[in-house]
Amino acid sequence: MKEYENLFSDSIRNELQSFSEYRAAYREIWTLRNILSVLHWDSEITLPEEGRAERGNQIGLLSGLIHSKYAGENFYRLAREAADENERKNLPGQSERRIELQRLFQDLDRSRRLSQELVEEFSVTTSKAHAVWAKARKENRFTDFAPILSRIVELSKKQAESYGFETEPYDALLEGYEPGERAANLESLFHNLKNSLKPLVARGKRIRNPFPKEIPVSLQKKLGEALPALLGLSPKISRLDASEHPFSTSLGPKDKRITTRYDLKDPLSTIFSILHETGHSLYEAGISEIEGGPSPLHDSVSLGIHESQSRLWENQVGRSRSFWEMYYPILMDVLELKESELAFSDLFSYVNQSAPSLVRVEADQITYNLHIILRFEIERALINGQTTVSELPELWNSKMKELFGIEVSSDREGVLQDVHWSGGAFGYFPTYTLGNIYSAQLFDAFSKENPNFADQVLSKKDFSSLLDWLRKNVHWRGKYDSAETLIRKATGSDPDSSFLVRYLENKLNELESIDHGR
């Protein structure tokens, strides 16, 4: 569904004056949000160190302005008048416009509960916190990050109180990332998933890094810069940069930014970061193709669905045998390696190894979800007041021992490894595992409809059938459906973690057959 049929066509535009005024106001807010995204992107990529204080003030001021416009009485009145007009005038596209306004009011009513002062302080604090976190991580000193993190936690708790909740404060923050989801449900889901993963983790095997030498950043850049376009993300609407923590962001319909980071000893770290972030940007690019925008429907339905797109390209595609049989010659040529230095079987086994590790972004497919469960349990306890910031390192280390049997040697590889808490993104982490669940289910449905996909990848370097399927079933749906409804329509069944477990079991079987064949 590339367009919301008859939603707001030229033929009825003049008949819906109030709706036109509401859309014009929404476009202004949407544009300001894109400008704010530019400031955030620049803060992490090109901003000189001495400019951070002023940039924090700029971000705080603009965030407050956007909030006042979006949550203010004037926009609320325009939206209410648009809704009333839509119900009075029985014009084509009425039901689609009704859904659009329902989505708007779900978010608008939530935003109006936050004061402008709280929004501005949160924006200024988190903007400053990123640099503090990056420095503390580099110097391995959590105590340098703890004071500003404590303030972010306090502000996040104030947000939760402002939003309101029925059972626990964490639910109020989780709602902002995964609408309708609740911590108690995640606790049950993650508990069952953890039990299903335990026997798979026990079968895992650590594989030695097969790269014979350090790979210069210049060669890794050359390799990585061609990868997004190979998957279908046009370089005319995107760019790749380096950052402390890989991320992707949309600055407009034709402006998608992704970042990666470089590891001289392991270029796969760079490759999989790019695969992951390209998945996000392909989703954003697909949403931008929906006609008739911008509107509240021209957005992702949830972070879990967003993560499903990044994880699908990173794992179901990027760790498949067909991908690596296609990509191996490219990698060897660009990185100037010989087959005698790096055998395909060694590389493919390394790509798909499974063994407990310290760092989430470098974790394998099986143990990755345990990293998410650890973070979910910690941040839930933090927001609900069951632990404090000062206790985080010890709590983190004990849970790593419990879940992975690993001793954490430094805060850099422990509690300081993720950027999310410096941005106040409490409630974000669970969406990664939800994304893993959704991605396995979506790819299973796609594969049943497209049994020749692996041959297309191997023989033609062609990923278009997958991208087209995702465009139709996920990207072009925008925010029209709930996450659960979207998955049901795309796959024929409700969200189900058994698809993920089965996929991981098959992956282990594949690796064990390679090992036995040596």
Annotated binding site for Zn(2+): 276, 280, 307
Nearest to 222 by CA among 326, 335, 138: 335
Residue 241: other Cβ atoms inside 10 A? 14
Cα end-to-end span (Å), the chain? 48
**Candidate list 44, 100, 175, 277, residue with the active-site label:** 277
Q: Is 49 a catalytic residue?
A: no
Q: What is the CA radius of gyration of the chain?
A: 23
- Residues 6 or more apart whose CB falls under 8 angstroms from that of 280 comprise 248, 258, 306, 309, 310
Nearest to 433 by CA among 489, 505, 486, 495: 495
CA–CA gap between residue 417 and residue 459 (Å, rounded): 39
Peptide bond into 451 cis (omega under 30): no
φ, ψ for residue 205, nearest 5 deg: -145, 130
Alpha-helix residue ranges (DSSP H) falling in 175-267:
183-203, 217-225, 227-231
CA–CA gap between residue 361 and residue 476 (Å, rounded): 29
- Residues 6 or more apart whose CB falls under 8 angstroms from that of 333 comprise none
Say if residues 60 and 124 touch (Cβ distance below 8 Å): yes
Residues classed as catalytic: 277
